[in-house]
């Protein structure tokens, strides 16, 4: 009977410790600067303005067509 009690106690002890969980959440925050590069987009935008600028200037110089 005593061996059964020891085994039962060990099973209960293992079950109790096996079901115990502990979660730790680290709440430290670090603020870092954000570096954003817009050089490529601005360069492409300027190149497109230059490319289509010739077309816009030619359209402005041309006389508008009149509807009949």
Question: Tens digit of pLDDT for each residue in 17-67?
Answer: 777 778 888 888 889 999 887 566 667 777 777 777 777 777 777 766 666
Q: Is the confidence at residue 68, as pLDDT, over 60? A: no
Q: Is the confidence at residue 3, as pLDDT, over 80? A: yes
In a domain, 25, yes or no: no
User: What pLDDT sits at residue 39?
Assistant: 61
In a domain, 55, yes or no: yes
User: What pLDDT sits at residue 64?
Assistant: 64
In a domain, 24, yes or no: no
In a domain, 1, yes or no: no
User: What pLDDT sits at residue 33?
Assistant: 92
User: What pLDDT sits at residue 36?
Assistant: 81
State how many domains the chain has. 1
Q: Which structural domain, as residue segments, surrounds residue 47?
A: 37-61
In a domain, 47, yes or no: yes
Distance CA 62, CA 41 (A): 31
In a domain, 46, yes or no: yes
């Amino acid at each position: 009977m005593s061996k059964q009690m020891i085994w039962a106690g060990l099973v209960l002890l293992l079950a109790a410790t096996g079901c115990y969980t502990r979660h730790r959440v680290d709440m430290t925050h670090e603020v870092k600067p954000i570096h954003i590069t817009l050089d490529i987009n601005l360069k492409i935008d300027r190149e497109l303005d230059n490319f289509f600028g010739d077309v816009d200037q030619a359209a402005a110089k041309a006389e508008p067509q009149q509807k009949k």
